[in-house]
A and B are shown apart, each in its own frame.
Chain A
């Protein structure tokens, strides 16, 4: 993608226009939002602020239409042929909890192995840890290597008898892309159900969910240019139909008596209560935006930036990149620099108007495993440009002046 296209995309993001001096390199935590997303949210409140699926007047019909259209947009983005299999949630965490409390309660029995990887974000670990405690199941681990790639040599052993394999598409710490199809294929051959944490995948990589081989996929709106408090769970129809509801209340029912009820059809069975309607419309607009840019272009642009960043930062003395080979790398760039603690780096970069993340990135078991208390992480999105990387490199060198003579 040419620089010209990059720059025209930047003007779609009001925050970058309002703060032209800002270098935002924390999109793995949450992305910035384009104007069309903000507009979708605003116009709901200003044009058709009605509840959905219940009003008999036109404004409610319009709200319902936009709500379901948003579902179609996100389904299109992830390559899901059946929008009814796309359940709105409040985020990745919420989607994973949905599976743990419904499918998990029904299918994980005492002694059953649940296979996770050592890369997982707390949100794809703690729900399973908790389920394992409730059901007396066991956790097994696919080990990460120090560069964030996964050790798959003993995978078949780990998969023996496994009921569930839950793993991340892209590590939020290393930006390492997991071999999704291979793991899914081997897991399903072993009879396991597979959940893919796509929180860091959907915003950066082309997605054809039905070809990846997973049974569940969870992701967040706010990391893919959408609003906070939005997300989605995708699954296959037969699985969703066999699952009990997660939350009970309005909208998820068909008929209610004093002592019993029948449940609504998909996807509404899993969407109890008035949802985050404005947020959903925003997430739909985010999907439209990404479809318009084209995920292959997003990937190409980010790969270009990553290549540049690895070159440019890698030439700084004392810079150590923690991450996989370039072809397996997406989004996040974790590093240590001259032994300066990541928090000190983050503070010093903040003074230069550069936002990075520092710390354990909600992956404490991973940090223990690689023997670090934390890393500094710069993460990219389609609105970043090479000049952002240049600014980062200059600011890193400036930060090093503070510790010169003390640490090195």
Chain B
């Protein structure tokens, strides 16, 4: 493995050993997402109790960026309230669409900071966002 601004170790680690990959038995919310231009597809499932994500899982086919992002997403949102999850998603989306390198990555994003390099590859930003947009779709049902 060599060091790389896009393919950071932590991304490759999530890609090779995704967390929370699979299906939930009876998810509260389930949403499919696709990237029509490239064919990447993910499914995000959530168990929600008392407005809080108890468990999250994903399945999908796609590139390292989209699957690593999905893996990080599911592992990060477990235990968070739906409002916290929405806020995290909004912060991440904003970060991905901001190409200004001078601004530091918001602390709240934790290991998602590893995806910062994707911002320099505009066509790949949609890979990083696929799982997050799918998550937001799932949460629309929760309103």
> Interface majority SS on B: helix, strand, loop or mixed?
loop
A-B interface contact total, Cβ < 8 Å: 53
- Kindly identify which residue among B16, B61, B124 contacts A373, using a CB–CB cutoff of 8 Å: B61
Contact call A347/B121, Cβ cutoff below 8 A = yes
Mask: chain B, 55-66; 1 = CB below 8 Å from A; 0 = not: 000000111110
Contact call A364/B39, Cβ cutoff below 8 A = yes
Contact call A341/B62, Cβ cutoff below 8 A = yes
B102 within 8 A of A: no
B12 within 8 A of A: yes
Instruction: A344 to B1: give the CA distance in the assembly, Å.
Output: 15
Instruction: A342 to B38: give the CA distance in the assembly, Å.
Output: 10
Which residues of chain A are within 8 angstroms of B37 by Cβ–Cβ distance? Answer: 359
Instruction: A401 to B4: give the CA distance in the assembly, Å.
Output: 10
B6 within 8 A of A: yes
The answer to whether A406 and B15 touch (CB under 8 A), given A341-B64, A344-B7, A360-B38, is yes
Mask: chain A, 292-320; 1 = CB below 8 Å from B; 0 = not: 00000000000000000000000000000
Contact call B12/A343, Cβ cutoff below 8 A = no
Distance in angstroms from B142 CB to nearest chain A CB is: 29
Which residues of chain A are within 8 angstroms of B127 by Cβ–Cβ distance? Answer: 343
In B1-42, which residues have CB < 8 Å from any A CB?
Answer: 1-2, 4, 6-7, 12-13, 15-16, 37-41
Distance in angstroms from A54 CB to nearest chain B CB is: 41
Which residues of chain B are within 8 angstroms of A341 by Cβ–Cβ distance? Answer: 62-64
Q: Which of A358, A401, A403, A406 counts the most chain B CB atoms within 10 A?
A: A406
Q: Which of B1, B4, B38 counts the most chain A CB atoms within 10 A?
A: B38
Chain A residue at minimum C-beta to C-beta distance from B3: A402
The answer to whether A373 and B41 touch (CB under 8 A), given A341-B64, A343-B63, A344-B64, is yes
Which residues of chain B are within 8 angstroms of A344 by Cβ–Cβ distance? Answer: 7, 63-65
With contacts A373-B62, A403-B12 known, what are 20 further pairs, Cβ within 8 A? A341-B63, A343-B38, A343-B62, A343-B63, A343-B124, A344-B64, A347-B6, A347-B124, A358-B38, A367-B39, A373-B39, A373-B40, A373-B41, A402-B2, A402-B7, A402-B12, A406-B1, A406-B12, A406-B15, A407-B16
Q: Which 6 A-B pairs have the closest CB atoms?
A: A343-B63, A341-B63, A360-B39, A373-B61, A406-B12, A405-B1
